[in-house]
Amino acid sequence: MLPRPALWPTLILVLSMAACTVEQPPAPEAAPVAEVLPGVEVLARDHVAELQGLRLGLLTNPTGVNRRLESTIDVVRALPGTELVRLFSPEHGLRGQFFAGDKVDEQRDPVSGLPVVSLYGQTRRPPPESLQGLDAVLYDIQDVGSRSYTYVSTLTYLMEACEAAGVAVWVLDRPDPMGGEVVGGPMLDPDLLSFIGVHDVPQVYGMTPGEWAQMIRAERTPDVELKVIPLDGWRRGMNYGDLGWIWIPPSQHIPHWETSYHYAMTGTIGELRRVNEGVGTPTPFELIGATWLDGRALADRLNRLGLSGILFRPLSYTPRYGTGAGETLQGVQLHVSDFGAVDPPAVGLAVMGALVRQAPEQHLFRDYLKEDGSATGFLRALGSRAMAEQLAANQLPARSESERSRFEEFLERRKNYLLYP
């Protein structure tokens, strides 16, 4: 039976479309993402026999988890033939409940019941008695890759204390969230060494915690017994977003892995306490704002620089706490458009330079020294007196020849400690 006449136009259209259809080759499959295992999983897979009979300490925080989000505390306690006898906690506490700068006075972990030694309270170094009876201290903390973020300082002090006590240090490695290839910012002046700048490295150093530990052993603690349990499957250039892992905030103001990039851009500026850097909003370190700032003009100035991988958008906002709390601020939001192209330390210096060019009357950087002549938190975070002096004079920050030479020397030193291609 022929189709009814009313259906013929539809039938003709379908047949004509079918006649014009050209068979397309199958789309190429996306390259599989390499499976990456954190050091804690490699430890449990490959190193149990080496831990037999050892009494262990563990320095960790909420980021110390495997990919199933099981705490490293629980993973180590479950290893046969070992005894986890003591925990150590960094800034923000063992379970991450303390704000930046809050003194931590932990004595016992309410979850595991194990004793806790705080390394951000009465002391920032493990007291000798806290290491007595230990064969090794494990370290498992996710870092953000910036010199002023204090976890690598705590790791450094741990290695120094363990060297003196004859206790081994095992670093369960984790990735640099920026991929291990971002290196830049000012070098650290020797007289500005502090807990937010513990070693001679640039502001962003491009190393994993395990690579940092290798550097510290070679340059600072040659007699410490160090063992790095490396990542399995990680390679340089893989940022945290490439891993497929869940991000556990290492502190309250690093809520996302992308915040590691923003912290490297604005964390130092925030130390001024003259402009807000997004702390007190849902987007910490992504904003720069002040009551007197012309956000549209600042965004235009910064966008004209043509910095790779980033755009600046004017906005107004009101932080709930932090600098400018409760006030309506004008400023910019920093939007990363390409994490593979953006240079966070260069962006940070560009933002500081744009601020002094746009609002020289504010003298933002004039008070980089305290009244007694000692360094402010801003100067210690920046690390360079020469750049601080330039900014104080409303000049663009630039590396001197001597600092350029020191930076090149660091790049050569760094090659000796890298574990991953």
Cβ atoms of 352 and 305 within 8 Å: the answer is: no
Residue 387: other Cβ atoms inside 10 A: 26
User: Is 201 found in the same domain as 161?
Assistant: yes
User: Is 152 found in the same domain as 62?
Assistant: yes
User: Is 170 found in the same domain as 62?
Assistant: yes
| Residue 263 pLDDT | 98
Q: Give the DSSP H or E segment for 287.
A: strand 287-290
Residue 390 lies inside a defined structural domain of this protein: no
Residue 374: other Cβ atoms inside 10 A: 9
End-to-end CA distance of the chain: 71
Cβ atoms of 387 and 397 within 8 Å: the answer is: yes
Per-residue pLDDT of 173-187, as tens digits, reads: 999 999 999 999 999
User: Is 326 found in the same domain as 377?
Assistant: yes
User: Is 217 found in the same domain as 83?
Assistant: yes
Domain that holds residue 313: 259-383
Query: What mean pLDDT is predicted for residues 334-352?
Result: 98
| Residue 353 pLDDT | 97
| Residue 105 pLDDT | 80
pLDDT above 60 for 261: yes
| Residue 289 pLDDT | 98
- Tell me if residue 259 falls in helix, strand or coil: helix
Residue 21 lies inside a defined structural domain of this protein: no
Mean pLDDT in the chain?
93
Residue 249 lies inside a defined structural domain of this protein: no
User: Is 234 found in the same domain as 264?
Assistant: no
Query: What mean pLDDT is predicted for residues 263-278?
Result: 97
pLDDT above 90 for 11: no
The band of 56, judged by pLDDT with boundaries at 50, 70 and 90, is: very high
Q: Which two tokens stand for residue 287?
A: 């904003």
| Residue 28 pLDDT | 52
User: Is 144 found in the same domain as 84?
Assistant: yes
Per-residue pLDDT of 145-173, as tens digits, reads: 999 999 999 999 999 999 999 999 999 99
Residue 3 lies inside a defined structural domain of this protein: no
Query: What mean pLDDT is predicted for residues 47-68?
Result: 98
The domain boundary, picked from 210, 242, 274, lies at: 242
| Residue 175 pLDDT | 98
User: Is 225 found in the same domain as 119?
Assistant: yes
| Residue 416 pLDDT | 98
User: Is 318 found in the same domain as 273?
Assistant: yes
| Residue 29 pLDDT | 56
The domain boundary, picked from 209, 242, 275, lies at: 242
Q: Which two tokens stand for residue 38?
A: 């954190």
Residue 418 lies inside a defined structural domain of this protein: no
Per-residue pLDDT of 348-358, as tens digits, reads: 999 999 999 99
| Residue 212 pLDDT | 98
User: Is 143 found in the same domain as 102?
Assistant: yes
- Which residues, in sequence order, are CB contacts of 194 under 8 Å at separation 6+? 375, 380
Number of domains in the chain: 2
Q: Domain holding 71: CATH number?
A: 3.40.50.12170
Per-residue pLDDT of 18-33, as tens digits, reads: 334 445 555 555 445 5
| Residue 21 pLDDT | 42
Residue 73 lies inside a defined structural domain of this protein: yes
Rg (Cα) of the chain, in Å, rounded? 26
User: Is 348 found in the same domain as 218?
Assistant: no
* Sequence letter at residue 30: A
The domain boundary, picked from 183, 210, 242, lies at: 242
Residue 420 lies inside a defined structural domain of this protein: no
Residue 186 lies inside a defined structural domain of this protein: yes
User: Is 281 found in the same domain as 139?
Assistant: no
Q: Domain holding 375: CATH number?
A: 3.90.1150.140
DSSP calls for 38-83? -HHHHHHHH-TGGGTT-EEEEEE-TT-B-TT--BHHHHHHTSTT-E
Cβ atoms of 396 and 353 within 8 Å: the answer is: yes
